Structure 1
Amino acid sequence: MTLAANRIVAGEGVAAWAVAPVAQSLPALGCMIAGLVMGLPAALPKLRLGGALLGLGGATGLLAVGAPSLLAEAGTYARVSPAAGFWGLLSVFLLLMADALAQLAPGPILRAGLLAGALGLLAALLSSGALSDLSVAQEFAGRADAFWRATLRHLELALGSLGAAALIGFPLGILCHRQAALRGSLLPMLSFLQTIPSLAMFGIMIPLLSWIAATWPAAQTIGIAGIGFAPAFIALVLYSLLPVVGNTVAGLDSVPAPVREAARGMGMTGWQRLLRVELPLGLPVLLAGLRIVLVQNIGLAVIAGLIGGGGYGSFVFQGLNQTATDLILLGALPTVLLAMVAAIVMDILVDVARRDSTERTAA
């Protein structure tokens, strides 16, 4: 752990078990050691999973008992934070857990249950107040209302841009699938947009939308402006088009030719083949494109904080300006968690769609 005189200055590293009462720290330390030992046998994924969970519990327990002990003898403005040792162990246990789950290969329903259980445990831990002495928890306590507003704005940016990209990209992908000339010109253009750095893209949006807002006053009434939500949203939509259009083309191309011929032989029209055969069979690839977009946009939405777009990026850049590490973490940690949850949920949907597609093809 790290003990600092206040929220800005650099802290001094302290071993949590060296300051907490032995009766409290020793069981947590034992759980961490046991978890690492249980994680060694690669051929026993269930044991490795149990060790990861045990180790996570031990590391969290050390934080919970170490923080109050450190603050008890510190000044009024003192702050306690997890140090590099904690983040390193957290990474190790999460990797052990991911490896064990990859070997066990649980089905979609079980994965959804595990995700719900993990989120429930996390919510119970945070609401219990066991980690309320940590600096990042104190940053949250002073900005709770702003945090939930930032959460809503971050979701609006990520999910809204995903929806807009799907409405634009799916029709374009279908057209590209059917017209080779359009595919040859549109996909390279969308690939070029992907090469533009995010900061440069946001910078391009500022003068362009400022000119539109100044030229057409009606644009201001719907929120179009050089800074704020609009430029961030449009930039995210532009970044999202290539994965959506490209995966739509790839998904439709993946439909076996005999299946198409069978549908044509049954007298289906072009639209009927598209809606009843090609899109259902290509759905796993289409959803994989949406997964890429969602995870990408959750991360890119952080940059929107630089141009007044809101979201978790507002905490990240405030923390950078104030050299307040825990304020940065208040924006970074929920972003990482949101991206991980989105990736797992989309993986579950892709798996369900792939199984359904396999059954349709077999039938």
Structure 2
Amino acid sequence: MIKQKIDKLGVVIALIAMPALLFVPFVTFKANRIVQGQPVWVFSALPAWAAACLTLVVVAVLVSAILKAGVLVRMIAACLGLVTVLVAIGLAASFLTPEGNSFARVSTASGFWMLLFAFSMLLIDALARLRPRPLVRIFLLLAGLVLLGLLARSGVWNELSLLKEFSSRADSFWREAWRHLALAVGSLVTAFAMGLPLGILCYRVERLRAAILNVLNVIQTIPSIALFGLLIAPLGWIAANLPGASELGIRGIGAAPAFIALVLYALLPIVANTVSGLVGVDTAVSNAAKGLGMTDGQILRRIELPLAMPAILTAIRIVLVQNIGMATIAALIGGGGFGVFVFHGIGQTATDLVLLGALPTVALALSAAVIMDALTELATRARKEIATA
């Protein structure tokens, strides 16, 4: 009976969370930005009352995880644990930073990340068991983002080194955020405008299908840095010899090679999934439409493309998440984006500056995945309704 009540995932979560609370540094304190940091454990990093509250919450969450509490209880416990850890890291920064000292830095350490990871595992497991509807998943995502925004606006994180890095670079942060989104979304829109007709062509003309897909497969195998490098010379030549090209932003260094590379990488998923989705349409449905007097163009627009939409949306999800991640590398060739902070942080051995670029990238990719998964599920349901109508 006791074994049946113990959840194996809960045991794993406890094995991660308890050492993080007791034996691993929660934060790192630095007298200034460049000196070596000193590890600080939970009970030294927080006021006594805050350390006690954090300990009680961690224990309560782990009990609900280990003893197979109800799914809803586990989800609420995971959310409580995450919020408590996020508030605790801000309290630790405020507690350790001397009053009036603008040079001291308090950064997150491995204990914080282990607790965050453990409670995130519990939340993901609870959501997987609850299987919320697509619109509910989007609502939960928005609620989480709003909560993070409220915590940031409340000032509880103001003494964190990450927030200090943001404060000193706020203008450039939002500028690079716009560039990152422009690269990721703009290349997706361009690739979709090119890839959808190309996919339809491959579906209609089977002799072209293998050749086009093989070429796109070869492009996909080229490492991103190598592809950026291959584009520098021809784009530099165009900028030097074609009047007006440089004024349009076409240069060997900058956003142009990054944008073109992202478009090329995005073509294969869009074309392949378009072909797969159209091939997967039941021929009986197409034949019935022909029997009603529809032309090939009408069948494509009204029957085949709507039925292929789940596969096409899956391709858009793959490309969007891929582009959000790969746009980070664009900073290496002057393309901007969150990669600017990542590579500056690596060059200066400033972990918080790296996180300033990495965390928004992860948040964008996760949000895009959740939203596109929900839209794909809605499209799949609509396809089933069309097929059975």
Give yes or no for TM over 0.5: yes
Number of positions where the alignment pairs a residue of Structure 1 with one of Structure 2: 363
- The answer to whether structure 1 residue 353 and structure 2 residue 379 are counterparts is yes
| Distance in 2, Cα, partners of 1:144 & 1:94 | 28
Query: For residues 226 and 179 of structure 1, do their structure 2 counterparts lie closer, same or farther at Cα, with a shift above 3 Å needed?
Result: same
Report 1:38-53 matches (<5 A): 38-41=64-67, 44-53=70-79
Pick from 347, 354, 358 the counterpart of residue 332 of structure 1.
Answer: 358
State the 1:88 CA deviation: 1.5
Query: What's the C-alpha RMSD, in Å, of the aligned pairs?
Result: 1.4
Counterpart in the other structure of 2:60? 34
Once the two structures are superposed, residues 26-68 of structure 1 have per-residue CA deviations (whole angstroms, 9 ceiling, x without a partner) of 1122112222222235573212211211110221122122111
State the 1:95 CA deviation: 1.7
Counterpart in the other structure of 2:204? 178
| Distance in 2, Cα, partners of 1:273 & 1:171 | 15
- Tell me which amino acid in the other structure corresponds to 2:382: D
Work out whether residues 2 and 14 of structure 1, in 8 Å CA contact, stay in contact via their aligned partners in 2: yes
Counterpart in the other structure of 1:85? 111
Work out whether residues 176 and 182 of structure 1, in 8 Å CA contact, stay in contact via their aligned partners in 2: yes
Counterpart in the other structure of 2:93? 67
Once the two structures are superposed, residues 179-201 of structure 1 have per-residue CA deviations (whole angstroms, 9 ceiling, x without a partner) of 11111101011011111111111
Identify which range, 25-34 or 161-170, moves more after superposition: 25-34
Pick from 208, 228, 232 the counterpart of residue 234 of structure 2.
Answer: 208
- The answer to whether structure 1 residue 234 and structure 2 residue 277 are counterparts is no
Counterpart in the other structure of 1:196? 222
- The answer to whether structure 1 residue 220 and structure 2 residue 256 are counterparts is no
Identify which range, 134-143 or 62-71, moves more after superposition: 62-71
Once the two structures are superposed, residues 112-146 of structure 1 have per-residue CA deviations (whole angstroms, 9 ceiling, x without a partner) of 21111111111101111101111010000000010
Pick from 126, 135, 144 the counterpart of residue 109 of structure 1.
Answer: 135
Once the two structures are superposed, residues 64-112 of structure 1 have per-residue CA deviations (whole angstroms, 9 ceiling, x without a partner) of 2211121128965221011011111111211211111111111122112
| Distance in 2, Cα, partners of 1:74 & 1:5 | 13
| Distance in 2, Cα, partners of 1:9 & 1:239 | 41
Work out whether residues 33 and 55 of structure 1, in 8 Å CA contact, stay in contact via their aligned partners in 2: no
Once the two structures are superposed, residues 141-169 of structure 1 have per-residue CA deviations (whole angstroms, 9 ceiling, x without a partner) of 00001000011000000000000000000
State the 1:220 CA deviation: 1.1
TM-score under structure 1 length normalisation: 0.97
| Distance in 2, Cα, partners of 1:4 & 1:137 | 15
Report 1:237-256 matches (<5 A): 237-256=263-282
Once the two structures are superposed, residues 282-302 of structure 1 have per-residue CA deviations (whole angstroms, 9 ceiling, x without a partner) of 101100000000000000000
| Distance in 2, Cα, partners of 1:147 & 1:248 | 36
Work out whether residues 17 and 62 of structure 1, in 8 Å CA contact, stay in contact via their aligned partners in 2: no
Counterpart in the other structure of 1:287? 313
Counterpart in the other structure of 2:336? 310
- Tell me which amino acid in the other structure corresponds to 1:190: L
Counterpart in the other structure of 1:135? 161
The 3-state SS of whatever aligns with 2:246 is: helix
The 3-state SS of whatever aligns with 1:217 is: coil
- Tell me which amino acid in the other structure corresponds to 2:236: S
- List structure 1 segments (4+ residues) > 4 angstroms apart after TM superposition: 73-76
Query: For residues 279 and 43 of structure 1, do their structure 2 counterparts lie closer, same or farther at Cα, with a shift above 3 Å needed?
Result: farther
What stretches of structure 1 of length at least 5 have no aligned partner? none
| Distance in 2, Cα, partners of 1:171 & 1:18 | 62
The 3-state SS of whatever aligns with 2:66 is: coil
Pick from 301, 314, 326 the counterpart of residue 300 of structure 1.
Answer: 326
| Distance in 1, Cα, partners of 2:350 & 2:307 | 50
TM-score under structure 2 length normalisation: 0.90
| Distance in 2, Cα, partners of 1:193 & 1:6 | 46
Work out whether residues 316 and 328 of structure 1, in 8 Å CA contact, stay in contact via their aligned partners in 2: yes
Work out whether residues 35 and 53 of structure 1, in 8 Å CA contact, stay in contact via their aligned partners in 2: no
What stretches of structure 2 of length at least 5 have no aligned partner? 1-26
Work out whether residues 187 and 242 of structure 1, in 8 Å CA contact, stay in contact via their aligned partners in 2: yes
Query: For residues 332 and 73 of structure 1, do their structure 2 counterparts lie closer, same or farther at Cα, with a shift above 3 Å needed?
Result: same
Counterpart in the other structure of 2:20? none
| Distance in 1, Cα, partners of 2:326 & 2:358 | 12
Work out whether residues 67 and 80 of structure 1, in 8 Å CA contact, stay in contact via their aligned partners in 2: yes
- Tell me which amino acid in the other structure corresponds to 1:102: A
Identify which range, 137-146 or 101-110, moves more after superposition: 101-110
Identify which range, 148-157 or 90-99, moves more after superposition: 90-99
| Distance in 1, Cα, partners of 2:346 & 2:168 | 18
| Distance in 2, Cα, partners of 1:40 & 1:199 | 45
- Percentage identity across paired residues of the two chains: 51
| Distance in 2, Cα, partners of 1:207 & 1:157 | 20
| Distance in 2, Cα, partners of 1:97 & 1:20 | 25
Query: For residues 116 and 19 of structure 1, do their structure 2 counterparts lie closer, same or farther at Cα, with a shift above 3 Å needed?
Result: closer
Identify which range, 49-58 or 183-192, moves more after superposition: 49-58
